[in-house]
Amino acid sequence: MLIIGLTGGIAAGKSTVAAMMAEKGAIVLDADRIAREVVEPGKPAWHEIVAWQGPGILLEDGSIDRQRLGAIVFNNAAERQKLNRIIHPRVAQEMAARTARIRQSCSGAVLVYDVPLLIEAGMHHAVDLVVLVYVSPEIQLQRLQRRDNLSRDKALARIRAQMPLEEKKKYAHVIIDNSGSPEDTANQVDRLWQKIILKGAE
C-alpha cells in the first residue's frame, strides 16, 4: 500500500486535489473531517475544550462553535498550541486505526492522508510521498478573502498562523501548482497518478 501525504496551506486548493485523486481511485483520509468527529458532543476532546474555554464556546445544539474557536486560536499562538495538543493526538490515533483496517482489507490501495498540518505535526515521516499543493502568496490571499469573506488583515493573520508554503516546499517530493486553471491542476494530478501506477506495476 502506498501512503501519500497531501498538504498545503489555507485556500491553496488541497481539498480540490484530494477530490481529483479520489476520482482516480485513491482512498482519502481527511484529517479535518476526523478532527470534527473527535470534538463531537460528549467525546473526550469536546469535554477538554469546554473545560478550557467554558460553555460559551458551545452552540445551542451543544456542538463546538468552530468559528468562535477559530477566531480565538488564529490570533493567539499559545491558545492554538493548546487546541492542537487536544485534537492532534486523537486525529493521529484515528487515522492510524483506519489505516490499519485499510491495509488489512485492501493492501494494494493508494491511501491519501489529506492533512493541512502534515509537516507541522511530523506526520510527513509516516508517509511514502509528500505532495504539496502550492499557490503564490498573493493568489492564496485573494482566494482566502473571497472564500471566507475576510478582510485583508484577517486573511493575512490566518495565513501567517501556518507554516509558509515556501517553507513546506523543502519537505515535498511532488509540488502541484494550483495557481492556474482547474484544467492545469487536473493535468498535474494526472501526471502524478500515472507515475504512481507505473511505479506500482514495477
Q: Into how many domains does the chain fold?
A: 1
DSSP characters over 151-193: -HHHHHHHHHTS--HHHHGGG-SEEEE-SS-HHHHHHHHHHHH
Residue 198 has pLDDT above 90, yes or no: no
Q: What Rg value do the Cα atoms of the chain yield, rounded?
A: 18
Task: Enter the C-alpha cell of residue 126.
Answer: 509516516
Give the Cα separation of 106 and 64 in Å (integer): 35
What is the number of other CB atoms lying within 10 angstroms of the CB of residue 19?
Answer: 14
CA-to-CA distance for 182 and 120, rounded, in angstroms? 27
**pLDDT (0 to 100) of residue 201:** 44
Average pLDDT of every residue of the chain: 93
Residue 6's domain is classified under what CATH number?
3.40.50.300
Question: Strand pairing of 129-134 and 2-8?
Answer: parallel
Pairwise CA distance, residues 16 & 38, whole Å = 23
Q: Is 65 exposed, middle or buried (0-12, 13-18, 19+ CB in 10 A)?
A: middle
DSSP state of 196: H
Region 167-184: mean pLDDT is 96
* Domain span including residue 130: 2-201
Average the pLDDT over each of 5-9, 34-38, 120-124 and give the range with the smallest value.
120-124
Model pLDDT, residue 202: 47
In this prediction the pTM is 0.88
- The amino acid sitting at 199 is K
Measuring CA to CA, how many Å separate 115 from each of 29, 51, 59, 89, 95? Answer: 8, 27, 26, 13, 10
pLDDT in tens, 23-74: 999 999 999 999 999 999 999 999 999 999 999 999 999 999 998 998 888 8
